[in-house]
Amino acid sequence: MPAHRAPRRSPVRRARRLLPRVAGMTTTSRYALLLRGVNVGGRKMPMAELRAVLAGLGHTGVRTYLQSGNAFFTTASGEDEDALAAGIEQAVAEHFGFRVGCLVRSGSYLRAVADACPYPAARLEPRQLHVTYLSASATPGRFASVDPAAYLPEEFRLGDRALYLHLPHGMGRSKLAEALARPAVVKGLVATTRNWNTVLKLADMAQETEMAQGTEG
């Protein structure tokens, strides 16, 4: 009597059995968070509490840098940068009792902004060069009311959702930085500024955390 053979499963049936597992897989992304105007003017935000807020939203691998509102986190939410920023802004407001502008950016974006600097960064002091990150792209027309000739030797250039500020005497008494920050100029935008040392450090840290995430995966 021939040996009994178990019926062979069709390739389609085997594929169907795998579908729930594939559908359940999640993709994580690593981002940098830039906050505007924290720990100045009485708006105190301990970085330990900010890390707790981000963790409470379900983000993982949270790190902060300095006290000016810079953080890194990993998320599996699938939301885009603007949606992530809106969620964090709301959570921060509920926890700290005040609202601050939030920008969420990828590490590759931060590196691209640093690499695209139109000024000779290597020949300037870090205090002479700043980047203002913008929540959306801006056209030159937005800054038409700021006459470049009126602020020389200070200068600015427009980049990808960023302004590069060359301030030979630093930010403290800069008339150009003051003019660019006027409400009429930045209306509808979140704009937050970092000096060149911080710009480079954020780009480096973002790439480090992205590489570490890739290694772990």
* Domains of the chain as residue ranges with CATH: 29-110+202-216 (3.30.70.1280), 115-196 (3.30.70)
Strand ranges inside the chain, DSSP E: 29-35, 60-65, 70-75, 102-106, 129-134, 155-159, 162-166, 191-195
What confidence category does residue 211 fall into, taking pLDDT thresholds of 50, 70 and 90?
low
Q: How far is residue 108's CA from residue 146's CA, in Å, rounded to a whole number?
A: 30
What mean pLDDT is predicted for residues 16-33? 61
The per-residue pLDDT for 215 is: 52
What confidence category does residue 18 fall into, taking pLDDT thresholds of 50, 70 and 90?
very low
More confident residue, 132 or 1: 132
Q: How far is residue 157's CA from residue 190's CA, in Å, rounded to a whole number?
A: 18
Structure tokens at 10: 């069709």
Is pLDDT at 148 greater than 80 in this prediction? yes
What confidence category does residue 145 fall into, taking pLDDT thresholds of 50, 70 and 90?
very high
What confidence category does residue 20 fall into, taking pLDDT thresholds of 50, 70 and 90?
very low
| CB-based contacts of 211, cutoff 8 Å, min separation 6 | none
Q: How far is residue 30's CA from residue 105's CA, in Å, rounded to a whole number?
A: 9
**Model pLDDT for residues 92-105, shown as the tens digit of each residue:** 999 999 999 999 99
More confident residue, 43 or 186: 186
Q: Write down the mean pLDDT value for the chain.
A: 87
**In a 3-state reduction of DSSP, which class is residue 211?**
helix
Residue type, 196: W
The per-residue pLDDT for 213 is: 58
pTM of the prediction? 0.83
